[in-house]
Amino acid sequence: MATIVKRPKRDGSFSYLARIRIARTGQPDYSESKTFPKKAMASEWAKRRELELAAPGGVLSAKWKGVTLHDAIERYLHEFADGAGRSKRATIEQLRRFPIARVKITELSSDQLIDHIQMRRRSGVKASTASLDMTWLGIILKTAVAAWRMPVNLNEFESAKLLLTSKGLISRPASRDRRPTADEIERLRAYFVRSLKIRPSAIIPMEDIMDFAIASARRQEEITRLNWDDLDTEAMTCWVRDAKHPRQKWGNHKRFKLTHEAMAIVQRQPRKKDEPRIFPYYARSIGTRWRAATESKGVEDLRFHDLRHEATSRLFEAGYEIVEVQQFTLHESWDVLKRYTHLRPETLQLR
């Protein structure tokens, strides 16, 4: 129901307040108002808004009329991003700084999404990086619909994603097959040994950590979470706490098999009082040391995570079967495991 209220102003003129109130069974009444200098303008607006609000979903759309994508991102970070890793959270937070974040979420269209990705590609990012933007935009928009009942048109998002994929503007990251050569490993080892001699009390034992990663197939963060109490020297196993999983972020504890080389590296680590971890260092610090070493020694395009590929490949080259390799690497399936397997023909033994 719409009402028009005449209000006097200080200069003796009048303004007209148009107010609309809609009663809803089982829900709070909905109301909105707007002030106009003329009664005719107030009446015209009230009639138009009554028709818009009477349409299916009209009241719901009105609730979120001023909400921007930036607002939705902020709410998502507050309510659902607690378990997100550092890189994932940084990607989400970065979206707030782009022009698309200022768009009202109920008005977000496919052409605006396409413009955003084209802008990102012109700035020099790869298709896989631009794809991350679309992935998180999709997650946020779908969360807005499912959790907050925002009237977002997901068809606009899906249409944009389909076109961007077909044009190659977004794509999945290419599978890496980088394995370090024996020469590269020795150059890095020499760098780590020299660093340890210069500052023995302040430097992370990167030679042992690199060798352990190759011998155990453990990720950078996992290495720093291994505890002495979880180590079984007789069974040659150890538990990794909160192992990486696509859906289960916490509590995914798994036991893995250690090679003889990995066990030897563990047993020569000094045990510190009141320190439960075998490698009591920060994963970020390990990454910093790794990048410094590869840059100093001219080892190009070799990430610490590539050592997991190296470890997996070596296990197969040593003659282990798929189900046996999984006991070391903890890959869930062969489909995932094969992405980490890059065998070298010269290492295969003819039967």
Task: Judge whether 144 and 152 are in contact, CB under 8 Å.
Answer: yes
Q: Tokens 């009202």 — which residue? A: 104
pLDDT of residue 83: 63
Q: Which helix (H) or strand (E) holds 34?
A: strand 27-36
- Measured from the Cβ of residue 220, the count of other Cβ atoms closer than 10 Å reads 18
Torsion over CA: 316, 254, 86, 108 (sign): positive
Q: Which residues of 317-346 are buried (b: 16+ CB within 10 A; e: fewer)?
A: eeebeeeebbebbbbeeeeebeebbbeeee
pLDDT of residue 114: 97
Q: What are the residues whose beta carbons fall under 8 Å from the beta carbon of 142, sequence distance 6 or more?
A: 154
Cα–Cα distance list, 6 to 40, 43, 51 (Å)? 12, 12, 23
pLDDT of residue 203: 77
| 187: three-class secondary structure by DSSP | helix
pLDDT of residue 344: 63
Q: Which helix (H) or strand (E) holds 2?
A: strand 2-8
pLDDT of residue 351: 44
Task: Report CA Rg, the chain.
Answer: 29
Q: Which residues pair with 16 in a beta bridge?
A: 6, 36
Dump the DSSP string for 226-282.
-BGGGEETTTTEEEETT---SS--SS--EEEEPPHHHHHHHHTSPPPTT--BSS-S-
Q: Which residues pair with 134 in a beta bridge?
A: none
Q: Which residues pair with 36 in a beta bridge?
A: 16
Q: Which helix (H) or strand (E) holds 342?
A: none
pLDDT of residue 343: 60
Task: Judge whether 43 and 4 are in contact, CB under 8 Å.
Answer: yes
Task: Judge whether 91 and 136 are in contact, CB under 8 Å.
Answer: yes
Pairing status of strand 237-240 against strand 254-257: antiparallel
Task: Judge whether 232 and 226 are in contact, CB under 8 Å.
Answer: no
Q: In angstroms, rounded to a whole number, what is the distance separating the alpha carbons of residues 267 and 215?
A: 14
First to last CA, the chain: 87
Torsion over CA: 231, 339, 307, 92 (sign): negative
Q: Give me the residues of the chain with pLDDT under 70, please.
A: 24, 26-28, 57, 59-61, 83-85, 200-202, 243-251, 336, 339-351
The identity of residue 40, as a single letter, is A
DSSP class of residue 68 equals B
Task: Judge whether 169 and 120 are in contact, CB under 8 Å.
Answer: no
pLDDT of residue 331: 83
Dump the DSSP string for 8-31.
E-TTS-EEEEEEEEEEETTEEEEE
- Measured from the Cβ of residue 215, the count of other Cβ atoms closer than 10 Å reads 23
Q: Which of 265, 212, 258 is nearest to 232 (CA)?
A: 258
Sheet containing strand 254-257, edge to edge, reads 231-232, 237-240, 254-257
Please state the pTM of the whole predicted model.
0.62
pLDDT of residue 155: 95
